[in-house]
């Protein structure tokens, strides 16, 4: 049973941006999916892709259409970048007090074609963070060890190796689905405040999604990666609602846990879920979730 987890659980989370150099490679993860590279660090998702279009008005217009950037969007050059470029930033209110930011950098690369780097997160626009990673990508400063193989047998979960076998698959960087066994997405952060804000935003977006409704929410005691903490438990109901997500899963309710906790010297925001018709153990969780969390009695 394949589900589209990111239709209900927003994968773009918020971040408390650091203003200093740090050991970002310990928090950064990436996957290379054909021509696109996806990244996640400190709760921000971003991607890079190179096209054969020339860096010209005609070449740029084709890519603007691809990324649904209309003629009225403000297009400006970022003068702090040494490469020729055009930047576009869009902001959309997706929940109460929650804005989703999408930033696009159309950059002329060394081959005179266009590399597009996209950032997605919640909160306020932070150009310092964006420029830092634009330069790291263009200067080939992303360490090879942060890349996960597309075929899953085991994954690096915030510094710990999890054996999953070959039935699970990525739907995005740091987002794993295991049919009938649960789904989860996570980010590694430098601060607890950043991790907590990330799951708060994920919940706010979930609550405002159309196609279902939250029928219960409560805080429960859990042990997450060895840390005693609280998780927000939410049950999302699709009964009587036509929904692509529910239709593909065959389920009626989705149980979701949101956790932010210190893990091995960093902080993790994690959103885990399973359907009512998934495999559920005697401890009340789907098997994937039990690999990282236990419910406290």
Structural domains in the chain, CATH included, are: 5-11+150-295 (3.40.1000), 24-146 (3.40.1000)
The residues near 38 (Cβ < 8 Å, ≥ 6 apart) are 30, 31, 45, 46, 47, 172, 173
| Lowest-confidence pick of 1-10, 21-30, 97-106, 125-134 | 1-10
Confirm if 107 and 81 have CB atoms less than 8 A apart.
yes
Tell me the pLDDT of the chain averaged across its residues: 88
CA 38, CA 42: separation in Å to the nearest integer?
Answer: 14
Distance from chain centroid for Cα 104: 17
Given a contact cutoff of 8 angstroms between Cβ atoms, the answer to whether 147 and 31 are in contact is yes
Percent of the chain with pLDDT over 70: 89
CA diameter of the chain: 62
Rg over CA atoms, the chain: 20
Contact present, 43 and 198 (Cβ < 8 Å): yes
Please name the residue ranges forming H helices in the chain: 57-66, 127-138, 192-208, 244-249, 287-290
Does the structure show a pLDDT above 80 at 112?
Answer: yes
Length of the chain: 297
Instruction: For strands 266-275 and 182-189, give the pairing.
Output: antiparallel
Residue 138 main-chain phi, psi, to 5 deg: -65, -30
Report the C-alpha gap between 268 and 225 in whole angstroms: 10
| Lookup result for tokens 């394949």 | 2
- Which residues on neighbouring strands pair with residue 294, listed in sequence order? 223
Q: Is residue 46 predicted with pLDDT exceeding 50?
A: yes
Statement: residue 175 has pLDDT above 80: yes
Q: In the sheet where 36-41 sits, what is the strand order?
A: 85-95, 98-108, 113-122, 44-54, 36-41, 29-33, 147-148
Burial label for 235, CB within 10 Å (0-12, 13-18, 19+), is middle
Q: What is the DSSP string of 231-273?
A: EEEEEEE-TT---HHHHHH--SEEEEEEEEEEETTEEEEEEEE
**Average of pLDDT values for 224-246?**
80
| Alpha helix ranges (H) inside 139-285 | 192-208, 244-249
pLDDT confidence of residue 206: 85
**Does 18 have pLDDT greater than 50?**
no
HSE, side-chain direction, 13 A CA sphere, residue 273:
28
């Amino acid at each position: 049973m394949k589900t589209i987890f990111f239709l209900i659980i927003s994968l773009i989370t918020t971040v408390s941006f650091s203003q200093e150099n740090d050991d970002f490679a310990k928090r950064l993860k990436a996957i290379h999916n054909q021509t696109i590279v996806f990244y996640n660090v400190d709760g921000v998702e971003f991607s890079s892709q190179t096209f054969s279009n020339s860096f010209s008005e005609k070449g740029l217009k084709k890519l603007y259409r691809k990324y649904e950037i209309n003629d009225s969007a403000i297009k400006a050059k970022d003068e702090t970048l040494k490469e020729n470029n055009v930047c576009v930033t869009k902001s959309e209110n997706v929940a109460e007090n929650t804005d989703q930011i999408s930033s696009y950098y159309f950059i002329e690369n060394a081959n005179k074609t266009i590399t597009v780097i996209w950032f997605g997160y919640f909160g306020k626009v932070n150009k310092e963070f964006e420029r830092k990673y634009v330069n790291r990508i263009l200067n080939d400063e992303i360490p090879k060890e942060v890349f996960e193989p597309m075929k899953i047998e085991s994954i690096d979960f915030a510094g710990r190796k999890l054996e999953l076998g070959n039935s699970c698959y990525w739907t995005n960087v740091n987002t794993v689905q295991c049919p009938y066994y649960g789904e989860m997405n996570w980010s590694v952060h430098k601060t607890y405040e950043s991790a907590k804000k990330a799951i708060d935003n994920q919940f706010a977006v979930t609550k405002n999604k159309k196609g279902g409704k939250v029928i219960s929410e409560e805080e429960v005691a859990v042990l997450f990666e060895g840390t005693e903490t609280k998780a927000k438990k939410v049950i999302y109901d699709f009964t009587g609602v036509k929904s692509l997500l529910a239709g593909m899963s065959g389920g009626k309710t989705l149980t979701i846990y949101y956790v932010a906790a210190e893990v091995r010297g960093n902080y993790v925001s994690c959103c885990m879920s399973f359907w009512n018709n998934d495999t559920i153990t005697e401890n009340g969780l789907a098997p994937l979730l039990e690999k990282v969390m236990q419910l406290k009695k």
